[in-house]
Amino acid sequence: MNRLELAGCKLAICLGPGGVGKTTISAALAIDGACNGRAVDVMTVDPAPRLLDALGLNADASEPREVALDSIALAAGAARRGRLRALRLDPRSTFDAIVRRYAATPAAAEAIISGRIYANLASAFAGVADYMAMEKLLELAAEPTADFIVLDTPPAAEALDFLDAPRRLLELLGSRAVSLLGTRQGRFGSGVVDLAARAVLSAFDLVTGLKLLGDVQAFVRNFEGMYEGFAERASRARAMLHAESTAVIVVTTAEAGRIAQAGEFIAALRKAELRVRAVIVNRAMADLPNVAEISRAKMPAALKRKLKRNLADYAALKTREAISFETLRAAMPTGAALMLSSELEHEPRTLADLAQIGARIHRG
C-alpha cells in the first residue's frame, strides 16, 4: 500500500467542499504524524468546533492544547510517539496579541484595542479574520519545537479567500485607501482628496456627534510604525503558502457533484499558483468481495441469493465510483497523487478511529 508521504512537509493545508469529511482527514493526518514521532499542531479556522470535538478538546481552545495520545499505538517502524496540540482560531484574540506585541508602547496598544475603530475592524474590512489565521500560522511555525502543522480550512469558496488573504493585505497596505488615512505620517495629508476626506468626516461628526474624525486620527496615530510589520509578515505568510515544504491537499468524496466541485477547486488553486500535492477521496468504498465465497459458504440458498443481489448492487455502486475516479484523474494537476481513504465500518468516534483513518490513506 503506497501511503501519502508527508515526512518532508512542514505544513499541510486541507481544503475541499463542505460535508466531505475534511475536518476528519485533517485530524487523522495530524494524529498519524504524531504517531510517527513528529511534533504536530493542528489548527482549524472553521467557527464550528468539529475538529476540537473530534480530538476531545473544549471548544474554547484558542491557544494550542495538548491532545493525550496514550491510547494510540505507535506507527509501524516509529521509534517514539510525538506530540499533538490543537486549537481553533480566535481572530480577535490573535489580533489583540499582535497589537500588544508590535505597538510602539503598551499605552498605544491599549488605546488601539479599546477604540471604536478597532472594535469594528474585523467586520469592516473583509479578510481580517483570514489574515489573522496567517499570523497564527507564522507564530506556530516560529516555535522551536515546530515540526509539522496541519491546517483545517473553511469550505471551498471561503478557503480560496483565506489563501488569498496575504496578497489582499499587501495590496491594501500599498493602496491609496491606506495612504489617505495618513498611515505614513500618522495624519491626513494636505492634498485635495485628503482635504475632501477630512471635510466629509468633519461634516459627519457635526451631524452625528460621533467624533469619527478624531477616532480615525487617533487610530492611525497609534498604529503608526506597525504597517510595515504587517506587510513584512504578509509576505512571509504568502511565501509559506507557496513553499516546497507546504502540501496543499484537496479532500472530496466520490459523488459526482463533489468530484465536479473538487475539479473546479483544483483549477482555482492552479490559477492562484498553489501546487496541489494530493487529492484525497474520503469514504471510498471497500474492494468487492469474491462472489465465489458466497457460493462455497454453508448457508441457506435463499440467503445466498439475497447476498448475491446485494453484491450486484454494491458492484454497480463501485462502477459508478470508478467513473468518478476517472473524471477526477482527468482534472488532477501534474505530479499530484490520488489517494483513497476507505470508509470505516462505523462513524469515527475515538482518537484510535482517527489514527486508523490516517494510517489507511493509500494511493488509488
Per residue in 59-115, pLDDT (tens digit) is 778 899 999 988 887 777 777 889 999 999 888 888 889 889 888 889 988 988 888
Q: Is residue 114 part of a domain?
A: no
The answer to whether residue 306 sits within a structural domain is yes
What's the pLDDT score for residue 212?
53
Residue range of the domain that includes 350: 11-102+127-163+231-286+293-363
Per-residue confidence band for 121, with pLDDT thresholds at 50, 70 and 90:
low
Residue 181 falls within a domain, yes or no?
Answer: no
Instruction: Of 50-54, 283-287, 360-364, give the lowest mean pLDDT range.
Output: 50-54
Q: Is the pLDDT of residue 187 over 90?
A: no
User: Would you say residue 314 lies in a domain?
Assistant: yes
Query: Would you state the pLDDT for residue 328?
Result: 93
Q: How many domains would you assign to the chain?
A: 1
Answer whether residue 331 is part of any domain. yes
The model's confidence at residue 214, banded by pLDDT at 50, 70 and 90, is: low
Across the range 193-212, mean pLDDT stands at: 47
Measured distance CA(93)–CA(253) in Å, rounded = 35
In a domain, 200, yes or no: no
Domain for residue 172, yes or no?
no
Residue 250 lies in a domain: yes
91-105, 110-124, 318-332 — which is least confidently predicted?
110-124
Domain of 41, CATH number, reads 3.40.50.300
